[in-house]
Structure formats: C-alpha cells, structure tokens
Amino acid sequence: MTTEPLLVVNELSTPSVWPASAVSAPGGDLSVAGVSLLELAERYGTPTYVLDEGEVRSRARAWVRALPEAEIVYAAKAFLCRAVVDWMEEEGLGLDVCSAGELELAATRGFPAERIVLHGNAKSPQDLGTALRLGVGRIVIDSGCEIARLAARVPAHDAQQVMVRVLPGIGAGAHPKIRTGAEGQKFGLSIANGDAEEAVARIQGQPQLELAGLHCHLGSQISSPEPYERAVRELVSFLVRVRDRFGVVLPELDLGGGFAAAYLPGDAAPAPAVYARRIRRALTGACAEADLPLPRLTVEPGRSIMAPAGIALYRVLAVKRSGGRVFVAVDGGMSDNPRPALYGARYTVRRVGRASAAPMRAATVVGRHCEAGDVLADGVELPEDVRPGDVLAVPASGAYQVSMASGYNMTGRPPVVAVADGRSRLLVRRETFDDQRRRDVGL
C-alpha cells in the first residue's frame, strides 16, 4: 500500500494538529505510526483513543533538549497510565501528580519517587500520607493550613522537601477557567498581600520541612513566552525578599506548565526551544541584576507533550439537518471529552476510511448525551455525503480527555490504544457495564 505524507488532509487540517507520523492512505484512510485508523476502529471499536508513542517520546525529548540544565516534570493530569509512566521514566522526565491515585500508579511501575512532585490546592490526608510513605521528592504547599498538617506527619528526625506555590499576579491562558496565576482564585499564596511571605516564615519554623524553592503555575494553553518572562521577574524579586528577610537563598524555581498545543490549524504553539530561550534569558538577567545565584529551574509540560500525540475515533450514528445546520451525531461525546462544554475548546475533524468526491460542507459534530451542550466540534468541514457508519478522527486528543472522562449516561469510558512501528497495543481497556455494576452495592 502506498502512502504519502499528510501535507493537507482538508482545508482545516495541517501537520501541526496531527502526529508527525500521520500519512494519507488510499481509500480515504489515514495511517499513524504505520497503523490504519480505520483498522483500529474496526479492531477496538469506537469511541477509541489512539496514542502515538513515538510522538509522545519525541515531544518529551524536545523539552529535555531545550532545557538540559533544568528538571522536566511531566504533568500527569494531562493523561496517565502505566505505559506513560514508563515512557516518562525512560525519557528522563519527572512526574507532577495531584492525588494518591496518581502516586500509587507511578509506584506500581517503580518510578523513582525522588522525581515526583505532589501538587493540589486541597490535598487529602491520603494524598499526604501516600506521598510521605513513598518518599516523593517535593510537596508543593498551596495553602497556609497545609504547613502544620504536613509537618505533623513527617517522622521525627526526618525532613520533607517542600515548595511554596505563589501567585505572581499574572493571568495567562486561553480561557478564564484555566488561568491560575492571577489574584482571586483558589490556587497558591499571594505575593501581593503577604500570604506567600508568611508561609515561608512558617515553614522556616518547622524543622520537619525543608523549603526547596518557589512554584507558580500561570494557566493553560499559553501560546507566548512573555507571561513566563514576567513570572520569572516576579519570582526572582520575591526570592530577594526571602533572602533579605530570612537570610536564605532558595535553590529552586518551578515555573509550572501551561505550554500551548495546536488544536486547530494556525493555532500558535511555540516549540519548547522558543519558550526555553526566553525563560533562560529572563532568569539569567533577573538573577544577575539581583545578585542571586541561578536557581535550579523546573518546568511541567503536560498538554504540549500529550495532546498532539492523541487521536479520538468515533463512529457516526446519525446525520440530521435542522435550522439550516447539519448535525453529525457520534457514539461518544462529553463523557469522553468534556473540554468543549467546559471551556469552549475547538477541534478539527476528518472522516477516515471512505473516499468521496462529494463537496465539503460545514457540519456540527455532536455527542450522544442528553445535553444541548454536548458538542464536540462546531463548524467543521466534512464531506456532504457523511452518513451513519462512517468513522471520524479528531486530532490533538491526547490530553485532558480520557483523564477527565466521566460515567455520564453509563456509556463507559473509552479504551486507549498505543501505536508504534506499524503495530498497536491496548493500554487501557474499555470500561464495561459489568465494571459499573460491580460498584453499585446498594441491594
């Protein structure tokens, strides 16, 4: 079978939203890592999520190359399974986790605990207990009340490394619900009102806690390095205040993640080297001006590694015309991808596995759930002859979809399939009705 590079899938699709291994194939099909998407839909059913292992690894390596002097920590909340834990360990990345469940999953694969960072604005006793039991590298303090609570759990004559998550007063990100660096929201401790400095003082008074540095996270889908440059300047300024008041030079600075991925052709998604160059320059300049040694830098990419490597496959169940619009209903929806409903996220869509000379027409791809807001992609171009049974592929689906999937309408969460070197393998099986039934113990 002859293939050709996926230069243009349709007028809405370019290489920036598909894995680098994607190639057009005869019959209207698409191959990723040498595997036919239509064959994957037939073998594993739909909805199914496909993850290009080579793309994940390549993007992880790009961050390591861009910042070889820094610690690159994968934001596991984007998507985590046992295989992803292994890939990150093999590529030399750390893990940023937010729960005891993510910690335990990492532990089942023997991931080095010292390379794990625990986050969370409201860590449960189980979260903290699991982190201490496993010996995670750093715990990020997100509120003042965590300080004594954590210190009381650390064994005598031992010390846990912590960082303080500060609010630099910088709002950045593609949607208000994912902007987390500004004042007036649930994350972090404000530099402006003195809460961050008070937290540093309290940690200094706890011998069971060792303050390693500062952490911030500005938001998600940040498509410019400029907010990170501003954050660097704010954090270095605060490091100076900590030095002058407490006589301590903190050795680490964690800028979090939020680096953008392209969901639509033309979306800005700078390469890791672009962010790295600007961040490094800002940090070097700010520290030189403040007469501070350069702190060890940490960044936490998640979406930018995982989103471009994933493709969601759906099968069309119905096509309907109403109010001058064409609605293409598929067998998934907001239960496996809540992002459009939550954030107004937008995607492009391609039909795979059936060639057609029909003209392209605007359509709205909707899910199967009992919600008017269950829209997966609005105003996308699909062939006019799209019909039930067709398979649709949605690129840039690797992050914050399966990880946020729900049990709504008891449809069952989809499987995740890895592709590499012309082969596929199941990473996460489909959730069945029996799985759901076993949780219902109310008889």
400 labelled as ligand-binding?
yes
3-state SS assignment for residue 50: strand
DSSP letter at 13 equals B
343 labelled as ligand-binding?
yes
Per the annotation, the verdict on 98 as an active-site residue is: no
Q: How far apart are the first and last CA of the chain?
A: 56
Give the list of residues 6+ apart from residue 178 with CB closer than 8 angstroms, or none. Answer: 219, 220, 221, 343
d(CA 42, CA 210): 54
301 labelled as ligand-binding?
yes
219 labelled as ligand-binding?
no
408 labelled as ligand-binding?
no
| 63 within 8 A of 407, measured Cβ to Cβ | no
102 labelled as ligand-binding?
no
Give the list of residues 6+ apart from residue 77 with CB closer than 8 angstroms, or none. Answer: 96, 97, 98, 102, 302, 400, 403
Catalytic residue among 81, 145, 287, 370: 370
| 363 within 8 A of 327, measured Cβ to Cβ | yes
| 363 within 8 A of 375, measured Cβ to Cβ | no
258 labelled as ligand-binding?
yes
d(CA 141, CA 132): 14
Helices (H), 220-338: 226-246, 272-290, 303-306
By C-alpha distance, which of 220, 297, 197 is closest to 251? 297
Query: Annotated binding site for substrate: which residue ranges?
Result: 303, 339, 343, 371, 400
Query: Annotated binding site for pyridoxal 5'-phosphate: which residue ranges?
Result: 258, 300-303, 400
Query: Annotated binding site: which residue ranges?
Result: 258, 300-303, 339, 343, 371, 400
> Which residues are tagged catalytic?
370
